[in-house]
Amino acid sequence: MINLAAMHRVRKHPAFAEYFDFVLPIFWPVVFWSLLRMADLMDARGSREALVIVHWWGGIDITYYGDPAPSPSAYRPTTPTLKAWDDPCWSTSLPAILNTNDTHRLIFPCVSGGFEGQAFALQTPREGMKGACALTPHADTS
């Protein structure tokens, strides 16, 4: 026996109202029974959505089942592969002279204008020359 109060609540629900509008009122119990059967089939299959065909007499055919509902235990947050930037493992043990803003002058002296004016000057560039030619030539002693 069909519960008429339950059928009336389902008929007023926005998700199922179109199914009842498509069918003649005499066949509403068939639509209600078909919706219950469809819900049981979807629960047994584990899917959340389905593509259905509603017949004029109230029958509902499931033509396509949607993806299964994900398991609540399936989500695992990813563990970070790198440590946070404020972690002490990112600290350096380089000498203080390499930690200054003038490091590029020590590593690339010719591009930076040579060693002129610095306390650790090794060589001075020749007048009027730039780049690699700015250093004084040395004899090959190898």
Statement: residue 36 has pLDDT above 50: yes
How far apart CA 47 and CA 33 sit, in angstroms, is 19
What are residue 64's DSSP bridge partners?
Answer: 51
Statement: residue 37 has pLDDT above 90: yes
Q: What is the mean pLDDT of residues 79-105?
A: 73
* Of 104 and 134, more confident: 104
pLDDT of residue 69: 78
Interacting residues of 134 by C-beta distance below 8 A, sequence separation 6+? 110, 114, 125, 126
Domain ranges of the chain: 4-65, 93-133
| Cα 71 to Cα 28, 43, 45, 110, distances in angstroms | 35, 14, 14, 63
- What the block records as the tokens of 129 is 């020359």
Give percent of the chain with pLDDT exceeding 70: 65
